[in-house]
Amino acid sequence: MRDSFGVQFDQHASWRHDFAVRLKVLADWLRDHELLDAAVEERLQQIEARMRAGKMMVAFVAEFSRGKSELINAIFFADYKRRIVPARAGRTTMCPTELGYDAAVPSCLRLLPIETRLQPKALAEWRATPEKWTSVDLDVNNPAELARALEKVAEVRKVTREEARALGFWHDKSPDDNPPEDAYGLVEVPRWRHALVNIPHPLLRQGLVILDTPGLNAIGAEPELTVSLIPQAQAVVFILAADTGVTRSDLSVWREHLVTGGDDAESRLVVLNKIDTLWDGLGTPAQAQEQVDRQRTATAEILGISTSQVFPVSAQKGLLAKVTDDDVLLRRSSLPALEAALGSGLLDRREEILRSAVSGALAELRAQAHRVLQIRRRDLADQALDLQGLRGKNSAVINHMRARIEQEQVEFDVSGAKIHAIRSVHLTLLRELFKTLGASTLKAELSDLNRALHQRGIKLGVKKSYNQTFQRLREGLGRAQATGVEIQTMFVAIFRQLNAEHGFSLQPPAPLDLLRFQRELDQIEQNHLQYLGVANALKLATPDFADRLVRALATRLRTVYESALGDVELWNKSAAAQLDVQLRERRRNFGRRMEAIERIQKAATGLDERIADIAQQEAALDRIEVRLAELTRDLPAAPKFEEPVVAAALKMA
């Protein structure tokens, strides 16, 4: 019995693989026919890489004891016929845990010691030092051993209050949030800071990444979770308990870490778990359903979302039903409805992004290919016209035509020198743009905020410094955008001149758009604001936490700026490559025309053969255009999901 999410993910993975293969066939064919310029080739390689190895993350977020780990077992690991991720009463997952698959790494569990919090290093930096992690081999063919090994993510250790304070688990002025002390004055803290599970589970092999996060206290202590990992997840599943509804701590998690004010509300799914606790055996099923509906409505109102985003389920009963192949119990657990929503929501969003990227690249590719083919057609027409004019002519006329072609080539070379001069100005502007978006500029812009966050004690002015920093970053992107407009204006002028003087068909690239990166800055700023309020003032006063916060921010911003630089480079390359292609084709045309004249001079009978050869080349261009249309016609088509799977799952809800 395969769940609907697994079926849809399989279909999505098959589509991605098929698409990547067809894309590679297209790229190879274009390269063989010299129709692939450097910019389009790079764009296609990026899309192919995303199709083959693109990761899709689903983040599960909840306070302790909401059944989060049980839900992960029910959705992803029921085929093992037992629990794999630790799930029992009380606290289980004590550290953030990522489950994924990397074929280059053996099946293992890697654990980062909690003591690394005492060192000034971001979590992203620790990922690059695998020797600092504790590694545990995993036997994926033995479910019992696999489950036993994963129990390590629940390990804790006893520390003094001072150690807990240094690690970020004890706050003198927030006693209600502190863990209880035992008879010896010791408190429990997680043994591990972060866990990475690498196993060849079918869904994980296809690019799925599952992020299992612990409760509010642990989430708040790791800024990178809320400013980097969770915001980048394609879907976030927030789990509540049906018997308690939305508690104060649940609401804190939702408001502080999940409500970002962005346009990704649909990617937030709320699970009202443990609905089986409302099946008390004394009331009728209709009465139990009425209670569930009331809780669902109340939950949606409190969280400010639509009831369609709230899914009442019983993860425990759903897992039991899958293990025992009990379809009746599975329907009553309502798990298939959540799986269908996860599948259609997560995968549809992913496919929409991929199709959009593919459609843009294909439109650019087709336009460029047609421009090159038109240039070749025009060049063949020029050659044919030259040769037709030689019928019955003597050697003096032939020599005159040769001299005319040579003069045209000289004039063209003069234009080449002009292009070189303009490119020097263009490169100066481009270097300025790269500097604006470079790592050194970003570091300088963060310096004031860095100093503010590292001041001793309560940081009263940090919010102002924070706002000023992001304002400067936005202004920097604005300057980069203005420089891009200046470069674009230069492209338009030189392309128009070359088109007029030499009959080129150059098309300036679409204007550079860096506004989407401004939106990402807004999102990051919103994610960070939660740490600058009164509620976190005491935590922010701790030097190590402030250091982790600024490092997490710098890591996230570097990713954004590197993406912006990549877009600029590809945008610039698309214009430069187009110019290079047409210059190359024109130089080839001069060579072919001169070659034809030489052949005519050497053999009087070569004229008709050459004219016939040109006709064959024109026919070959016709065949190339037909084949291009065939290879690109259905490439961005969506995968054909089995509609009965989704429909049946929704009916079971």
Domains of the chain with bracketed CATH = 4-353 (3.40.50.300), 389-622 (no CATH)
Q: Is 101 left (phi over 0), alpha (psi -120 to 50) or beta?
A: beta
Q: 437: which residues sit within 8 A by CB, 6+ positions away? A: 476, 477, 480, 561, 564, 565, 568
Look up the pTM and report it: 0.69
Write out the H or E segment, with its range, that includes residue 187. Answer: strand 186-190
**β-strand partners of 61:** 238
Question: At 641, is the pLDDT very low, low, confident or very high (cuts 50, 70, 90)?
Answer: very low
Locate all alpha helices (DSSP H) within 389-461, ordered by sequence.
395-436, 439-445, 447-453
> DSSP string spanning 586-628?
HHHHHHHHHHHHHHHHH-TTHHHHHHHHHHHHHHHHHHHHHHH
Closest CA to 115 of 86, 138, 135, 95: 95
Whether the predicted pLDDT of 136 surpasses 90: yes
Whether the predicted pLDDT of 315 surpasses 80: yes
CA 593 to chain centre: 49
Question: At 390, is the pLDDT very low, low, confident or very high (cuts 50, 70, 90)?
Answer: low
Closest CA to 6 of 653, 638, 642: 642
pLDDT of residue 501: 79
pLDDT of residue 651: 42
C-alpha distances (whole Å) from 100 to each of 208, 218, 229, 316, 448 are 6, 21, 14, 23, 38
Question: At 387, is the pLDDT very low, low, confident or very high (cuts 50, 70, 90)?
Answer: confident
d(CA 255, CA 236): 14
264 phi and psi angles, rounded to 5 deg:
-110, 25
Give the percent of the chain with pLDDT over 90: 15
Parallel, antiparallel, or unpaired for β 56-62 and 235-241?
Answer: parallel
Q: What is the pLDDT of residues 447-480, one digit of tens each?
A: 888 777 777 656 566 778 888 889 999 999 999 9
Region 31-51: mean pLDDT is 76
Write out the H or E segment, with its range, that includes residue 165. Answer: helix 161-167
Region 526-533: mean pLDDT is 68
Whether the predicted pLDDT of 227 surpasses 60: yes
Number of CB atoms found within 10 A of residue 380's CB: 19
C-alpha distances (whole Å) from 158 to each of 190, 318, 557 are 9, 36, 36
**β-strand partners of 163:** none
Average pLDDT, the chain: 80
pLDDT of residue 492: 86
Region 202-216: mean pLDDT is 80
Contact 277, 243 (CB under 8 A): yes
Give me 302's structure tokens.
């409190």
pLDDT of residue 391: 64
Region 280-305: mean pLDDT is 86
Region 393-397: mean pLDDT is 67
Closest CA to 258 of 232, 226, 228: 226
